[in-house]
Chain A
Amino acid sequence: MSLIAIHDLRFTWPDGTPALAGVSLTVEEGRSLGLIGRNGAGKSTLLLHLNGILHGSGAVRVQGRPVEDWPADELRATVGLVFEDPEDQLFMPTVLEDVCFGPLNQGLAPDAARDRALAALASVGAAGLAGRAPHHLSTGQMRRVALATVLAMQPRVLVIDEPVMALDPEGREEVIALLAGLPQTKIIASHDLEMVLALCDDVAILDGGRVHAHGPARELLADDALLRAHGLRMPASPGGG
């Protein structure tokens, strides 16, 4: 049984903009999937379906169970969603309170939530930032903390939207190394194909709300014609992984 199975998922925004036009996709436990495609291909919309925030027609199953049958809190603890702009995700006055937000919502006692939060911060190399205000962090630090806010909920699947956007080369490298070291099943949406190549086993190309190709990252990311047909370019330095 696949950890995540999506079948013929369709979604149109209320203003009439079609976003997903029949997406079918599976992700196996322990693998990592790169979701690639041009801007507006439907990547972010698809991610919002994975933990039940948006509901399209078709089926999204997590661990074999349709998302609408999951208790909301369990689903959100199983599928952790990291948003594109960490500034939107860090909304509490201090880093510690922010990382505790998820565990406290899960019903943990404050002490237990604090322990989880500190462990999550340590795991992203941000233990020293607990008392800081999020708006005083650098972009790289924000990325790490945003990741910790979701890791503290101990999800089985990490769903990450554009994890290295707006980072300088050094910060980008650090975040990639950090993600590579996380054991969870990962779904990463991005058009940074070098990062996808470094982090993902498989790749799905999304364009016009449909999956146009799904296969091993090394194969798909070496197919220049295929990538170009969907507004993408081959990563500069094949290797890594």
Chain B
Amino acid sequence: MSERRDAGPPTIAAEFAWARELSLGGLFIALGVVIPIAFHVLGGGRLGPVFLPMYLPVLVCGMLVSPGIAAAVGVLTPALSSALTGMPPVLPTLPLMMAELGVMGAIASLLHRRAHLPALLATPITLVVGRAVLGLCVLGAVSLLPPDVLASLPPPMRQPPAYLLVATVTALPGLVLQLIAVPAVVALVERRSTASAAMSDRHAGA
């Protein structure tokens, strides 16, 4: 049988696994830039805050790579998109999304890859945690603002819970979409991806 006996230097399975983390993470960052553009083309504007198209690749990627890479993908995706396409705007959305998506990527990975929670369960937990992080970040940002500036914000922005409520209600269709789509894609990918399974050391020839 082909069980490999090598100890010490990285096994080919380990090399492949690390290479896959980088290529998968990088390609999904690109998807995180491309999918919102496609949504824009399909929906003709203003669908972004409703469907959260950038969350889709970040969450799926989070379920497929290690927590560190998943967090990096969550942080880099909105940053690269903002630099190249202007969306999300630098203020106030970009820093909020970087924090929210970075944490969500890491949580998705921890729940699915480390704790082996099925994607069907991991997705809603991740979404709830993500919204909580968003709320905390808004709270933090607002507490940093001087009172005169705070008074001049539109009413929902002045109160983080209200902002979070508005943002969540607006994004409800998107959250539902993630809830269905993320586990479906993860299941599809995990069924189809023969290469990564074949590369694992446990697999041996017939």
Interface residues of A (CB under 8 A from B): 9-15, 17-18, 20, 52-58, 68, 71-72, 91
CA distance A17 to B203 in the complex (A): 13
11 pairs, CB–CB < 8 Å, chain A vs chain B: A10-B206, A13-B197, A14-B194, A15-B194, A55-B2, A55-B205, A57-B204, A57-B205, A58-B205, A68-B4, A71-B9
Q: Is the CB of A52 within 8 A of B12?
A: yes
> Which residues of the partner chain A approach B42 to less than 8 Å between Cβ atoms?
none
Q: Is the CB of B194 within 8 A of A13?
A: yes
B residues 16-61 near A (Cβ < 8 Å) are: 16, 23
Interface residues of B (CB under 8 A from A): 1-2, 4-6, 9, 12, 15-16, 23, 191, 194, 197-200, 203-206
> Which residues of the partner chain B approach A20 to less than 8 Å between Cβ atoms?
205
Q: At the interface, is chain B mostly helix, strand, loop or mixed?
A: loop
Contact A57-B2, Cβ < 8 Å, known A11-B205, A12-B206, A52-B12? yes
Q: A11-B206, A13-B197 are in contact. List 20 more A-B contacts (CB 8 A).
A: A10-B205, A12-B205, A12-B206, A13-B198, A14-B197, A14-B198, A14-B203, A17-B194, A53-B12, A53-B16, A53-B199, A54-B198, A55-B204, A56-B206, A57-B1, A57-B2, A57-B204, A57-B205, A68-B6, A72-B9
> Which residues of the partner chain A approach B15 to less than 8 Å between Cβ atoms?
72
> Which residues of the partner chain B approach A58 to less than 8 Å between Cβ atoms?
205
Number of interchain pairs (Cβ within 8 Å): 49
In the complex, what's the smallest C-beta–C-beta distance from B56 to chain A, in angstroms?
23
Closest-by-CB residue of A relative to B9 is A72
CA distance A31 to B4 in the complex (A): 31
CA distance A122 to B1 in the complex (A): 43
> Which residues of the partner chain B approach A13 to less than 8 Å between Cβ atoms?
194, 197-198
The list of the 5 closest CB pairs from A to B, nearest first, reads: A56-B205, A57-B205, A12-B206, A14-B197, A55-B2
Q: Is the CB of A91 within 8 A of B23?
A: yes
CA distance A54 to B12 in the complex (A): 9
Q: Is the CB of B4 within 8 A of A55?
A: yes
Q: Is the CB of B12 within 8 A of A57?
A: no
CA distance A18 to B205 in the complex (A): 10
In the complex, what's the smallest C-beta–C-beta distance from A37 to chain B, in angstroms?
19
CA distance A68 to B197 in the complex (A): 19
CA distance A57 to B2 in the complex (A): 5
> Which residues of the partner chain B approach A12 to less than 8 Å between Cβ atoms?
205-206
> Which residues of the partner chain B approach A11 to less than 8 Å between Cβ atoms?
205-206
CA distance A74 to B197 in the complex (A): 25
> Which residues of the partner chain A approach B194 to less than 8 Å between Cβ atoms?
13-15, 17
CA distance A58 to B203 in the complex (A): 15
> Which residues of the partner chain A approach B198 to less than 8 Å between Cβ atoms?
13-14, 54
In the complex, what's the smallest C-beta–C-beta distance from A64 to chain B, in angstroms?
19
Closest-by-CB residue of A relative to B23 is A91
In the complex, what's the smallest C-beta–C-beta distance from B197 to chain A, in angstroms?
4
> Which residues of the partner chain B approach A91 to less than 8 Å between Cβ atoms?
23
Most buried by B among A13, A17, A20: A13
CA distance A234 to B191 in the complex (A): 38
Most buried by B among A14, A17, A54, A91: A14
> Which residues of the partner chain A approach B204 to less than 8 Å between Cβ atoms?
55, 57
CA distance A212 to B141 in the complex (A): 70
